[in-house]
Structure 1
Amino acid sequence: MKKTHYLAGIALLSATAAMPTFAADECTLDINSNDAMQFDQKELSVPATCEEVTLNLHHTGTMAKNVMGHNWVLTATEDMQPVATDGMNAGADNDYIKEDDDRVIAHTEVVGGGESTSVTFSIADLNAGDDYSFFCSFPGHVSIMNGKFNITE
């Protein structure tokens, strides 16, 4: 390959990398969970311009959902532990989420190893700069499987 073709290719790749992403991409988030009781990210962010956000949860492990299931739950940070505690009492049939819990902004179903799930939710009533957290409400997971959810201006 000629040196000029190589340099032109690098310039094109650099320009493409610097291009802004489309709103649909900014409003879609992916997060992985595993058999070691971990999310692969401790912080997720979306711009305030998103009307709706889609969160895709992937369980990259192999263990069944009744043994090492995971979900993704979004609440105000101050509500995280109380929602998780109430979720334990709600049980597996309710994906460890108390029915009609107004503190829950969004949540997925519980999935096991090799499974994925999604939730789409509005952020119209949420404020940039407020304190939101995501977590897994499977019993005993909240203390390790949690992170910050940010809405940026």
Structure 2
Amino acid sequence: MRMYARRLLIIGLALAGHASAGCDLSIEAGDAMQYSRNALIADAGCERIRVTLSHTGRLSRDLVGQNWVLARTADIKGVAQDGFAAGIEHDFVAPGDARVLAATPLLGGGERATVEIPRSRLLPGEEYSYFCTFPGSWLVMRGRLRLR
């Protein structure tokens, strides 16, 4: 009986740690224009979702910059095109673009940034995608943010 209770305690602690980890997510991108994950899953009960992007490459932000931008899936193309027009001085994200739910700055190799998304900005039943707005990257660097 004692061993059974101990196993339940260990499982409970593991699940509790897993649930809190669902609010703090991390992803990497390198010089190869690729995210390390094509989906991120956050707990639906999170008040705020924090996403940390780490640029694991060596190249500077002006050569192969990486960012993490979140928008409704239907808005990807427009956000990316308007970001291209905004230029590198705005991290390839148009200032004041209401379609952008969250965005990290454009990072160079070895840099890291964290962005917070209030849960209230994410609507049930809506599809959300993250992508990099560095020119041309959004075509291949993208993934889905899902709530569970």
What TM-score comes out, normalization by structure 1 length?
0.85
Structure 2 unmatched runs, 5+: 1-6
> Superposition RMSD on alpha carbons, in Å?
2.1
The alignment partner of 1:70 has SS state of: coil
**Distance in 2 between residues matched to 1:151 and 1:129, nearest whole Å:** 10
**Distance in 1 between residues matched to 2:120 and 2:15, nearest whole Å:** 27
State which structure, 1 or 2, has the greater radius of gyration over its C-alpha atoms.
1
Shift of 1:48: 1.4
**Distance in 1 between residues matched to 2:11 and 2:42, nearest whole Å:** 23
- Pick the aligned partner of 1:93 from 62, 82, 89: 89
Q: Which moved more, 1:58-67 or 1:124-133?
A: 124-133
Alignment of 1:61-100 (within 5 A): 61-100=57-96
Shift of 1:50: 0.6
Q: Sequence identity, in percent?
A: 38
The alignment partner of 2:16 has SS state of: coil
The alignment partner of 2:50 has SS state of: strand
Alignment of 1:30-45 (within 5 A): 30-45=26-41
Contact 1:76 1:103 in 2 (8 A): yes
Counterpart residue identity of residue 90, structure 1: A
- Pick the aligned partner of 2:24 from 25, 28, 35: 28
Counterpart residue identity of residue 78, structure 2: P
**Distance in 2 between residues matched to 1:123 and 1:25, nearest whole Å:** 15
Counterpart residue identity of residue 85, structure 2: N
**Distance in 2 between residues matched to 1:123 and 1:20, nearest whole Å:** 20
Counterpart residue identity of residue 106, structure 1: A
Structure 1 unmatched runs, 5+: 1-10
Task: Count how many residue pairs are aligned between Structure 1 and Structure 2.
Answer: 143
What TM-score comes out, normalization by structure 2 length?
0.88
